[in-house]
Structure 1
Amino acid sequence: MDEAQVDRILHNPKFKEMVAKKRNLSWTLTAIMLIVYVGFMLLVGYNKEFLLSSISGGVTTWGIPLGLGIIVLSFILCAVYSYIANNKLDQLNEEAMREVEAIAQQKGQD
């Protein structure tokens, strides 16, 4: 593939749309996870008493469900990414690949 083909692919609207949507989705989910995780770490650092306090007067403290919640959230965010990637981004990827193949075939005919 020569530079002209690469340039045409990089400036292809479908390719640009796919890259933008993937980037926005990745950064959004990353920001959610970082905010939650950093928030938990700040809670650990600055409000240990809350995390050590009992939920209902029993043995379980607030730290346990919050920590487990972060782990569960990571699985949920992974599932959200997989669902969107498989149902929306794959369609854009296929459309972009069809256009890339058309660009490559045009070069072969030239």
Structure 2
Amino acid sequence: MDQDVVQRVKSDPDYHKLVAKRSRFGWILTWSMMVVYYGFTLLCAFDKEFMGSRIGEGAMTWAIPLGVFVILFTVVVTAIYVRRANGEYDALTDAIKARAAKGEKVAA
């Protein structure tokens, strides 16, 4: 890649804004997923009595709905990220690319 284009992109304030927003949001979603996933795993490892206890009079235990929750939470977190990436992040990326392609100098 042409070094001039790289420097224009790196000096663009929208680029720094994009990197900061995407990183911060990515870490929030990562940590929330880790809490849910490892919370479920820790419950399975250290509270077997709870996970094996039945819900009501049926045969279903708490492990089943909690496991389904982990799967659904993963889908929801992915959908949230994709929605934000396709909206906010793509708009910033397109603006950065357009300015870099035109050779515009952006004041910092």
**Given the two structures, how large is their TM-score scaled by the length of structure 2?**
0.87
Which consecutive aligned stretches of 4+ in structure 1 deviate over 6 angstroms post-superposition?
Answer: none
State the match for 1:51 in structure 2.
51
Q: Is the deviation greater in 30-39 or in 16-25?
A: 16-25
Render the CA deviation track for 1:72-96: whole Å, top value 9, x for unaligned: 1100011101111112111111111
Whole-angstrom distance in 2 between the partners of 1:2 and 1:84: 30
| Overall identity of the aligned pairs, in % | 35
TM-score (norm 1): 0.86
Matched, 1:22 2:22: yes
Kept in 1, the 8 Å contact 2:52–2:63? The answer is: yes
Runs of 5+ unmatched residues, structure 2: none
Amino acid at match of 1:92: L
- Taking CA–CA contacts closer than 8 Å with sequence separation of 6 or more, which of the two structures ends up with the larger relative contact order? 2
Can you give the 5+ residue segments of structure 1 that lack an aligned partner in the other structure? none
Amino acid at match of 1:65: P
1:99 alignment partner, SS class? helix
Alpha-carbon separation, structure 2, partners of 1:27 and 1:41: 20
Query: RMSD over aligned Cα, in angstroms?
Result: 1.6
Aligned runs of 1:1-110 on 2, under 5 Å? 1-103=1-103
- For residues 6 and 44 of structure 2, the distance between their equivalents in structure 1, rounded to whole angstroms, comes to 49
Checking the alignment, whether the CA contact within 8 Å between 2:5 and 2:101 is kept in structure 1 is: no
1:8 shift after superposition? 2.8
